[in-house]
Structure 1
Amino acid sequence: MATLQHTDELYHILEDEICALKILPGEALSENQLCKRFGVSRTPIRSVLQRLEQNRFVQIIPCKGTIVTTIDIGVVDQLIFQRVAVEGMVFRDFVQSCSPMEILALEHLYNMLLEAAAGRSDPENFDFNHFLSCDLAMHAYWFRKTSKEYLWEQMTRPQADYSRFIRLDIVGARNVSSVVSEHAEMLRILREKDLDAIEPLMRTHLYGGVSRMGSKIYSDEYRVYFKLPESNK
């Protein structure tokens, strides 16, 4: 019998696989196959699938089964808007209060990002999850130093639309160099206390995925990943 803790583990395994695009939008999740894979009965599997549906990762269709949701580009846009507004304010507070030692700490994190980006010349073996972790570590630093950890946790928890869009952006567009250069600009702003440059940079950086994907969102290759406005279908 699966314990509550075990059921929670099963949920996070499937959530992680959906976020990492190992399980693709539109893919069917079979209760029988999941029971066989995890060695559990239908009861915990159904509980996990219901929880995934509550968090927008899947849709359970009566008499048809469970289907992984597509990425709602409208939700992605709203979440980016929210993050631009919140992170712009947090970064501004950090720029005004940061110490020379904190800038050195961020420079170290930036160097780790550079190392992670070095593998982009070999797309097949590029570890984009590690690259994303290094990217997020810089952002997390100024949330932590301004005592805004709770906000950061809320904005970066696994999310059916935005989490997958970020990964699709890096895997599909391969434009790691622009992400790196934008983080370099963040360091410049810190060193020079250039407050006027914060909002334009945050908009460029956080909306960068939309710009990089561009018309690819509507291409035959990628449109299967997205729920698009009716007028664009």
Structure 2
Amino acid sequence: MTLALENVTGGYGNLPVIKNLSFEVPDGQIVGLIGLNGAGKSTTIKHIIGLLTPMQGAIKIDGQTLAEAPEAYRQAIAYVPETPVLYPELTLKEHLELTMMAYDLDAKTTWPRVNEMLEQFRLANKLDWFPANFSKGMKQKVMIVAAFMTNARLYIIDEPFTGLDPLAVHDLLDLVALKKQAGAAVLMSTHILATAQQYADQFVLLNNGQVRATGDLTSLQTQFNLADADLDAIYMAMTREA
């Protein structure tokens, strides 16, 4: 089991936003993290990647918490945030080199894989560009290349389709599918429910900071007593509960 949350309560200061969260992201599966704005999706992700510390409970990757094995825990994660975070003084090439150093990747074997993705996302001729020259979609593509160049055990993708053109969305989903086939775990937070239903193996539905339901689509249909419902209908039923 790559990622496991065990009764995690957390938030900001003394204010809990997520309460008693328990769910898993298995190896070789895509898990969709679904919920209304304010349901706790981004707060959950911030706890998983270590930006926030749980007030209660434990978050484990391969059975170890961040406190127990900080370097191994961090190197196991690749993260694509909702809002791209780039250093204004570094070129695209320097961002990629920095990522290689952070993950202790061999440059000779990594660059061929990186160059393929740069061609795929139409960034190959922009290695010397600075972030100020990039559109929001291009910045998001840089974050995607930086994440997927790694050999992470867990890929966390937070609203990844924002600002991407349809071709780039298709390219990203292809990368996600390849990582899944290679045995990695993927946690994807998105409001694009049709895409989540098509690509995710399981779902975690958050409502008001708590897990409302988990499982595949058939399991969710049973839990909401909505036979043959799609993810959109289940989401709307959860919204009415809220």
TM-score after normalising by structure 2:
0.26
Larger Rg: 1 or 2? 1
Name whichever structure is richer in strand by fraction.
Answer: 2
Name whichever structure is richer in helix by fraction.
Answer: 1
